[in-house]
Amino acid sequence: MAEQKDKIFAAYSEKVMDHFTNPRNCGEIPDANGIGNVGNAICGDVLRLYIKVEDGKIVDAKFKTFGCAAAIATSSMVTEMIKGKTVEEALEISNRAVTEALGGLPPIKLHCSVLAEQALRAALADYYKKIGKDPSAFEPKKESHEHYDGF
């Protein structure tokens, strides 16, 4: 059994394992001004991403994820990547950038990075709605996976 577990974890980079075992920015932001809720109906992963924006800059980001090691790691990484960025800079962060920042993901787990990007876009869209701006630039990209908003 331990040998099988070692093989499974060997598919992940050290950075993925670090963000899985020591996730950064877990939790909620009670006064978040942007919240993105996304999930993958196929694998069951669910991510809620909270952002706090002040003067056009993301000053805090937290997440709650129900999912596998890769889902937790990508959630953790995306929060690290967006802190201190402007809303426009955060929009440029792609699932590919999240995957690269983690040192790669097994092909079967790439959908987890898509989930992170979609949660970010959903949180940015929510922020824009709340400040009275058109959120269409932030709408999640349609991928070949089925995703749904909400929990």
Catalytic residue among 11, 17, 35, 43: 43
- Scan for tokens 């790669």, then name that residue: 104
Q: If phi over 0 gives left and psi between -120 and 50 gives alpha, with beta otherwise, what is residue 124?
A: alpha
Beta carbons of 36 and 125 less than 8 angstroms apart: yes
Q: Tell me, what amino acid is at 14?
A: E
Beta carbons of 50 and 120 less than 8 angstroms apart: no
Catalytic residue among 73, 110, 112, 124: 112
26 belongs to the catalytic site: no
Q: Where are the alpha helices (DSSP H) in the chain?
A: 2-10, 14-21, 69-82, 87-91, 95-101, 110-130
43 belongs to the catalytic site: yes
Active site residues: 43, 112
